[in-house]
Chain A
């Protein structure tokens, strides 16, 4: 079978039988009833505030990430210092009693 010929005949059928443009009764009222209740301007305002909210939230998350990162670096250094200091003070505490015995 010649499929190209069959294809052309079927498309000719489609061209000769365009779909109906009949509209259901009062369809425009259905559309109007489904429009956003708050209207276009309120919808735009909502979109504006939603967009602002998301931008603010994302900026906040980014700022928090940066702060946590920098705090992590600072606290690592701080911990090293604390560790070194605490080692010294422990040594002093242990030796203090022996020094006191020697003095006695």
Chain B
């Protein structure tokens, strides 16, 4: 890619409906050539995915917005480091995952879990699970959703990240290694430890609740 070329700036291909459709590569080249306003199209194109990603790591909507903003500002500052050999979306997602991880580490709140930390819905769901653990009906319940978020918040940042990417988003280990910058063995080790930590947290909650 030659970001500075004038042809890249002027390269706008009309689609079948007549509207101008630029590839990510064209838009990046335009921005690097000085057409800063073209960055808005990149933002508009990729912001839904970044919001969905950021909402996995932050609960409050204000935090989510700040996180997405930080990702886009970093992307803008580092735009010239995208070489164009991989899709722009992958590069942006790597930046997003690393920014979310940094945010988790910065806002690390390792509060001791207590029963009072559980909402009524979470506690009710947990009690129902204790009575009928094989029931598969209420995984969509608000209590279950809230309990997942509570448990994930108690995990260490690295463990939360690896559980989210591996077990919730279902990404392969190799892809996680690429996104996080960790080696493949490190991803596996962290996944193993994350599962153990999650069981430990659930055990602590259950003991405090039912004993």
Contact yes or no, B36 A20, CB < 8 A: no
**Are the C-beta atoms of B32 and A40 separated by less than 8 Å?**
yes
Total contacts A-B at CB 8 Å: 110
**Which listed residue (A1, A23, A28) contacts B206, Cβ 8 A?**
A1
Cβ 8 A contact of A40, one of B72, B79, B163, B167:
B79
**Secondary structure call for the B interface:** helix
- Which residue in chain A gives the minimum CB-CB distance to B73? A34
Q: Are A14 and B148 in contact (CB under 8 A)?
A: yes
A5 to B139, CA, bound (A): 13
Check if B52 sits within 8 Å of A20, measured CB to CB.
yes
Mostly, the A contact residues are helix
Measured CB to CB, the residues of A under 8 A from B are 1-7, 9-24, 27-32, 34-36, 39-41, 43
Please name 15 further chain A to chain B contacts, defined as beta carbons within 8 Å, in addition to the given A7-B195, A9-B144, sorted by A numbering: A1-B203, A1-B206, A4-B199, A6-B206, A13-B144, A19-B51, A19-B55, A20-B52, A28-B44, A31-B39, A32-B43, A35-B76, A36-B76, A40-B31, A40-B76
For the complex, what is the distance from the CA of A4 to the CA of B202, rounded to whole Å?
Answer: 9
For the complex of A and B, the 8 pairs showing the least CB-CB separation, nearest first, are: A19-B55, A21-B48, A21-B52, A28-B43, A13-B144, A3-B199, A13-B139, A14-B168
Contact partners of B40 in chain A: CB under 8 A: 28-29, 31-32
- A5, A13, A16, A19: most-surrounded residue (chain B CB, <10 A): A13
Give the chain A neighbours of B52 by CB distance below 8 A: 18-21
A22–B52 Cα distance when bound, in Å, is: 8
User: What's the least CB distance linking A36 to chain B, in Å?
Assistant: 8
Q: Contact between A35 and B163 (Cβ–Cβ < 8 Å)?
A: no
Residues of B within 8 A of A16 (CB): 139-140
- Is A7's CB under 8 angstroms from B168's CB? no
Task: Chain A residues near B203: list those with CB within 8 A.
Answer: 1, 3
